[in-house]
Structure 1
Amino acid sequence: MRFSAATTAGRFLPQRLALRMGPLLGRIDAVLFTADERGEAGRMSLIAFAIRIVSAVIAFISQVLMARWMGSFEYGIFVLVWVTMVIVGNLACLGFHTSVIRFIPEYRERNMLAELRGIVVASRLFVLIASTAIAGLGALGVWLCADWIESYYVIPFILGLFCLPMIAMGDLLQGQSRANSWALFALSPTYLVRPVLILALMALMLAMGYAPDARTAIFASIAATYATTLAQLIGVTSRMVKNIPTGPMKVHFSEWFIVSLPIFLVESFFFLLTNADVLMVGAYLQPNDVAVYFATVKTLALVHFVYFSVKAGVAQRYAQFTHGEPEKLAAFARETVSWTFWPSLLMALLVLLLGEPMLVLFGPEFTAGYPLLFLLVFGVVARAAVGPCESLLTMSGNQNICAAVYAMTLAFNIGLNIVLIPLFGLWGAAIATSLAMVFEASALSFTVWRKLGIVMLIFMPAARGAA
């Protein structure tokens, strides 16, 4: 849902990508267990970077085809429903998909195998039950509020809720894989396999005579999500069985829940902040406008994936360095800022250069979103300039204040959207989003400096401040 371990990675990306996507995929994870710790994080980020590049290409192609097949109106309906399901599915984990990244390495290093077995099993059961309950309540809510919802959204939203348990479980399995440095198991199902399956099933259904509309796309998404998550569950479970010896389990659910709750707030605010603009456009404007805005945001995926790839690779290392190694943590955190900013800046320039012809592929009406890219890119680069600050705060035990920062940023973003979208339409959404990202980056960077004495800002010296 933003990595190169070295500044030269971008120049050798095709070779590295080819290496990782070939028969040697299985060897990469093995390397992760035998390399030095910092190299492990760098390699995981690089693998995540490669997967995100392939994912961005797949996502862009699939969204172009979806838009072409369905037209902007039906595509806009599908986009709003799918984005909502991905957000709510992530939130349905209630923070466990991130807290396991903190607990699993700790239990493994301290040889607390009973607790390790406990959190693996308990987190899965909890997420499955919670997400199923939320899906049921959501379907009931949509049905009861049908008179206040546009008629063309009602059935697609009810159908989309069937995806929730599997989306949530997939996010949890991603967290468990990241905690073990299994980058391929963590990222491939969600970012490579699922979008390809959705596209293939959509094409198959159209060939069978189904209508090219949002409902058909959602049916394809449901089938692809279940197939992907169940396969990921089998794969991750099989690997954990080989690495964790059998024995008794200890469940400290209250302790895990207390830690997960503020992380849930951080993740909630972050996810809502990342997608609030699409949701707000859907609330105020027509599906055609949602389609144009979403296509514009998708074009920015080449910039966003740098940030997320670094975040995927370094969260575990942040957690391990916080145990009595402040100098290593500070040096590593500063390094991750460079990993994030320079590739993001390069990708931003590339997107601005190629943005208009990329949007034309969706359809001629989608070029209306090209001017918005200049505003949106500014916000994304501002976020990249401070690196994955929220991961550092969360993994170092400062998740509460991180949640507060995101709460303020989300309120700021929603307030701006409420004021600006009715006045300026899509321009209002772009202005609100960019300003919110600048505010978020500034607040997080300042909070890291105040709490940890680490300067996470690309052009600032690596001095330590007051903790």
Structure 2
Amino acid sequence: MFNGSTNPRTLEKALSLAPAADLTVRLLVPAAVVESRLRRRMELEPPAERIFEADLNVNMRSFAVFEAMHDLLTTSGREIISVEYTDGPSTFKSICRIERQILSALSRFDRAVGEKQIELPSHRADVTTGSATTPPRNKDMGSRLAWASIFALLIYIGGAGLTSLAQLAIARLIGPHNYGIYSYVQAWTSVLAYLATLGFNVSLLRFLPAYRASGRLDLARGVIRFALQRSLIAATLFGMIGAASVLFLSDPTERGLETSIVLGMMAVPLVTAYALGATLVRAFGGVVSALLPERIMRDGLLLVLVALLALSGFRTVDAPSVTLAVLVSSAFTAALVFIIARRFEPPGLGHAKPSYASREWWLAVPPLMLITGLDVFVSRAGVLVLGWTSHIAEAGIFALALNVAMLVGLSRIAVATMFSPTAADLYVRGDRRGLQQLFARATLLSAGGAILVAVPMMVIVEPFLSYFGEGYSAGAPIARVLILGYVFVALCGPQQNLLTMTGNEWAAATTMIAGAVANIIACAAGVAVYGLLGAAVGVALALSIWSIAMAVYIRKRLKIMPGLVFALLSIRPSAVDARQWHWFLRASK
């Protein structure tokens, strides 16, 4: 009705999928009356509500759709009562007619129940209560999706709160130098772990639903086994190479750094495991359950372990002991994720004999591996550059400022979680107009959430960082610069997800490589010239260049405008004139 692509065949298919009603009532209202009411309603609407309102022509075109539905229902033999809205008496007569029809239907239903009671006297109690005759109601899919989105966002917020609390405790306990070691090690652990997923934390979300829909549980089990085996082997190799490099190449005087890196490399396979396990849970339909272990349990358990270390006095709380706590919490998280995945596993999957499409799966590895690994690398490039150049204490200050700034990107991550599957569906169906509108909506949500977080954070960031201990307040200007960088990324919307879900993995990977290179160069130059603030400017600049490059490619390749540009160009002075589509509903020009 809204995108103009409705046809009788589509309507017929949709009506065939809907349960047949016992009685269908059609209310006939003259078009002039409807148009007058619509105009009056739209004139009285506040400007904010007009943004979400379809224009007059779109609403009036629904008359033809309802007429087509009436013809289809009549042809299929459905009983339809038409009620004409002309004057009071005629409307009252129609209501009385509907009442008689309903009473007649109820009497037929009561007789049927009575006959069933006579035939099955032993089930009298069940019949009289209606439990045996009342069909179960289908769940409202829209409501489920809305609640899933809300819960996902709440988990992201709760996880961010726990992460911030854990980082606060760690930073206060171990000081800038040890926190710099810890942050540097965690940056390398994350980069290597997500590279080791070989991109299966993304591709499994595409392969598994497709195989389940086609009934190929053998391929579904095969790709799960294939992904887990290859990824865990890669993670183990990465961890061993990283640990060996430290033992042979590091400075013997930095024992704390050596020990922390070795422990961090031991955690690489565990991080890879719970990343893939969470992907399996999402692919099996447990979107919210997939977020709980990584977002809540991991940092929650880390916080508990660090608190126990501090209270027990068993040993000094330093970078190696905190990294050991990360190792333990990662192990528990990985175990929990696979327990949840087992619970959500589709029936019959565990007994299916695995089949393999290795060539297809390997083809998806290079671009997605680069995307996932470089995504983490880009966000941690400043910490890595400072660690490489032996600015360990500065790396700790920068890492804390970065963690604060990344709160701004929380809305984009939450929006992208729900944006990706819908975008993939629209692209497969060739609905370019719908994809443009969805991307614009996602961009506005992402930008709005980022700005709501960024504005107060810019004000309170200095006193907030001072709570972490002496020396950390110097990170306030760094955090402000990084916040601006992440706001710009949010203003561009979930571009990386759009590229990935539309089959442009290599384009996303190429832009990620360019962004990573620009990030390293900008950070190194910034550190050399302006120190910590220069590193922050370099990261923010690289993020902006990366976002602009993706926007240009998306515009040229997919013919999709940047979300905010599309929204601004679509706003017209009056929604009542009905000359333009609302930007949610109309195609780009």
TM-score, normalised by the number of residues in structure 1: 0.87
Task: Quote the Cα distance in structure 1 between the aligned partners of 2:253 and 2:549.
Answer: 36
Task: Quote the Cα distance in structure 2 between the aligned partners of 1:103 and 1:458.
Answer: 32
Segment drifting more, 245-254 vs 457-466: 457-466
Task: Quote the Cα distance in structure 1 between the aligned partners of 2:253 and 2:499.
Answer: 39
- 1:319 to 2:440 alignment: no
Per-residue deviation at 1:222? 0.9
Per-residue deviation at 1:166? 0.8
Match of 1:22 in 2: none
Question: Do the aligned partners of residues 337 and 244 (structure 1) sit closer, same or farther apart at CA in structure 2, a change above 3 Å counting?
Answer: farther
For 1:219-239, what per-residue CA distance to the aligned partner results, in whole angstroms no more than 9, with x for missing partners? 111111101111111111221
**Structure 1 unaligned runs (5+)?**
1-6, 9-32
Aligned runs of 1:342-353 on 2, under 5 Å?
A: 342-353=448-459
Amino acid at match of 2:352: G
Aligned to 1:94, which of 190, 193, 198?
Answer: 198
Match of 1:409 in 2: 515
Segment drifting more, 134-143 vs 41-50: 41-50
Match of 1:138 in 2: 242
Per-residue deviation at 1:148? 8.8
Match of 1:299 in 2: 404
Aligned to 1:399, which of 499, 505, 530?
Answer: 505
Task: Quote the Cα distance in structure 2 between the aligned partners of 1:34 and 1:250.
Answer: 34
Match of 1:233 in 2: 338
Segment drifting more, 358-367 vs 169-178: 169-178
Cα contact 1:102–1:316 (8 A) shared by 2 = no
Q: Which protein has the bigger helix share?
A: 1
Question: Do the aligned partners of residues 457 and 393 (structure 1) sit closer, same or farther apart at CA in structure 2, a change above 3 Å counting?
Answer: same
For 1:154-183, what per-residue CA distance to the aligned partner results, in whole angstroms no more than 9, with x for missing partners? 121011111111100111122222334422
Match of 1:371 in 2: 477
Cα contact 1:105–1:316 (8 A) shared by 2 = no
For 1:307-360, what per-residue CA distance to the aligned partner results, in whole angstroms no more than 9, with x for missing partners? 111222222222233222323333222221122111111111121122122101
Question: Do the aligned partners of residues 234 and 215 (structure 1) sit closer, same or farther apart at CA in structure 2, a change above 3 Å counting?
Answer: same
Per-residue deviation at 1:208? 4.6
Amino acid at match of 2:296: L
- 1:267 to 2:372 alignment: yes
Task: Quote the Cα distance in structure 1 between the aligned partners of 2:162 and 2:201.
Answer: 25
**SS of 1:111 mapped into structure 2:** coil
**SS of 1:385 mapped into structure 2:** helix
Percent identity, aligned pairs only? 24
Aligned runs of 1:276-287 on 2, under 5 Å?
A: 276-287=381-392
- 1:198 to 2:302 alignment: yes
Segment drifting more, 101-110 vs 453-462: 453-462
Match of 2:20 in 1: none
Match of 1:328 in 2: 434
**SS of 1:322 mapped into structure 2:** helix
Match of 2:104 in 1: none
Cα contact 2:278–2:341 (8 A) shared by 1 = no
Task: Quote the Cα distance in structure 2 between the aligned partners of 1:190 and 1:162.
Answer: 18
**SS of 2:276 mapped into structure 1:** helix
- 1:457 to 2:560 alignment: no
Cα contact 1:185–1:236 (8 A) shared by 2 = no
Per-residue deviation at 1:364? 3.0
Question: Do the aligned partners of residues 319 and 177 (structure 1) sit closer, same or farther apart at CA in structure 2, a change above 3 Å counting?
Answer: farther
Per-residue deviation at 1:146? 2.2
For 1:122-155, what per-residue CA distance to the aligned partner results, in whole angstroms no more than 9, with x for missing partners? 2122222221122112211222212499554212
Aligned runs of 1:208-219 on 2, under 5 Å?
A: 208-219=313-324
Task: Quote the Cα distance in structure 2 between the aligned partners of 1:394 and 1:34.
Answer: 31
Amino acid at match of 1:262: P
**SS of 1:300 mapped into structure 2:** helix
Amino acid at match of 1:136: M
For 1:27-54, what per-residue CA distance to the aligned partner results, in whole angstroms no more than 9, with x for missing partners? xxxxxx95547x7665544322211111
Match of 2:175 in 1: 71
Cα contact 1:338–1:387 (8 A) shared by 2 = yes
Match of 2:5 in 1: none
Higher relative contact order, chain-length normalized (CA < 8 Å, sep 6+) = 1
Compute the RMSD of aligned alpha carbons. Answer: 2.3
Cα contact 2:405–2:480 (8 A) shared by 1 = no
Task: Quote the Cα distance in structure 1 between the aligned partners of 2:513 and 2:152.
Answer: 28
**SS of 2:428 mapped into structure 1:** coil
Task: Quote the Cα distance in structure 2 between the aligned partners of 1:257 and 1:149.
Answer: 43
**SS of 1:70 mapped into structure 2:** helix
Aligned to 1:308, which of 413, 418, 425?
Answer: 413
Amino acid at match of 2:436: A
Segment drifting more, 146-155 vs 377-386: 146-155
**SS of 1:248 mapped into structure 2:** coil
**Structure 2 unaligned runs (5+)?**
1-47, 50-137, 570-582
